[in-house]
Structure 1
């Protein structure tokens, strides 16, 4: 039976997922392995023997159903006409402000979003272990980095060799990665630290009654 678990996405991640651009996410392994370790594929975990840390499990496994927690709020508005007119509650999402009714409301942090408010549901299709800097150009795009951003960096390169194109992809992803890491944690989990990460691939799915 599939596990149903929450996952936190910031506003840009939500937009990229809704657009179909983001189909993978990387999460830092905590604690970080310190030396030799073995990878168990199913369920996915590493066994770190260097400091006696034992099994460090991936937070998400293939088959898991994830509901995305995003910046949100609940607001009320009048619906219906005549005797049927009444006030009803709705959820609003910062990633897609579309209504004048909710645009001015106070936003609540994603960590506090209840499951019932989730609109984006994902099914984990694959999970693996990698070093952060092992990300491929294809995976940079699958992380939701906009192609126009990558192309902008390519145009700034001395020439369009394979090496410089690779550098453009890396800079585009590094900018985003380091922006979501707390400053105090950059030495441990920033791009230059090249931490071990869980690579979680997913596809959108619909919420069912069982979920």
Structure 2
């Protein structure tokens, strides 16, 4: 089981079953693409190279179980609450009773607080700007009638996750190589049995 971080809007999209894909930058950035992606899952070591003969493995492999780390708090001790639930019917009683919540970043969420589990069903490399209309929707963005609007929403979302110091390498305009990771939500017990 491996952790994966999502920001609050993307956790909401997961809970609403709108998000089934995520893109993660390939590091180090490969200089060129070698081979046909059809070999994924059978021999993931021979897909990409960094240009120096070093093969690059996907961060997550097909079949991996991921546990989602999200912004959280604990109150009282042993009872976890999640920022993605704020303003929804989930956990409404808690948010009405507590006005000043100290949120903890997702990176520090304890494993036992996990409520969302995912199974990786597909992994492929792609240039970021090759993302298509239906893929923007699978990233959890709200439906928009026109592709250009959805594309703009995705660019804002993507660039919002990139540190200023990395914009020249990983922003939308830089068009980095990314792992396109498709997943399905699974139940807690199914994750525990895996």
**TM-score normalized with structure 1 length:** 0.79
Matched with 2:106 is 110
8 Å CA contact 1:145–1:172 kept in 2: the answer is: yes
- In structure 2, relative to structure 1, the CA distance for the partners of 1:75 and 1:142 (3 Å cut) is same
Count of equivalent residues: 181
Structure that is richer in strand per residue: 1
Query: Between Structure 1 and Structure 2, whose CA radius of gyration is higher?
Result: 1
Q: How does 1:1-211 map to 2 (within 5 A)?
A: 4-38=1-35, 40-42=39-41, 43-45=43-45, 46-48=47-49, 50-52=51-53, 54-76=54-76, 89-97=78-86, 98=92, 99=94, 100-102=96-98, 104-147=100-143, 150-151=144-145, 165-208=146-189, 209-210=192-193
Structure 1 vs Structure 2 CA RMSD: 1.8
Structure 1 unpaired stretches of 5+: 77-87, 152-164
Give the deviation of 1:21 after TM superposition: 0.6
Provide the C-alpha distance between the structure 2 equivalents of 1:13 and 1:140, rounded to a whole number of angstroms: 12
Give the deviation of 1:104 after TM superposition: 2.2
- In structure 2, relative to structure 1, the CA distance for the partners of 1:19 and 1:49 (3 Å cut) is closer
**TM-score normalized with structure 2 length:** 0.86
8 Å CA contact 1:181–1:189 kept in 2: the answer is: yes
Provide the C-alpha distance between the structure 1 equivalents of 2:99 and 2:29, rounded to a whole number of angstroms: 41
Provide the C-alpha distance between the structure 2 equivalents of 1:200 and 1:17, rounded to a whole number of angstroms: 14
Structure 2 unpaired stretches of 5+: 87-91
Provide the C-alpha distance between the structure 2 equivalents of 1:198 and 1:106, rounded to a whole number of angstroms: 33
8 Å CA contact 1:44–1:128 kept in 2: the answer is: no
Give the deviation of 1:62 after TM superposition: 1.2
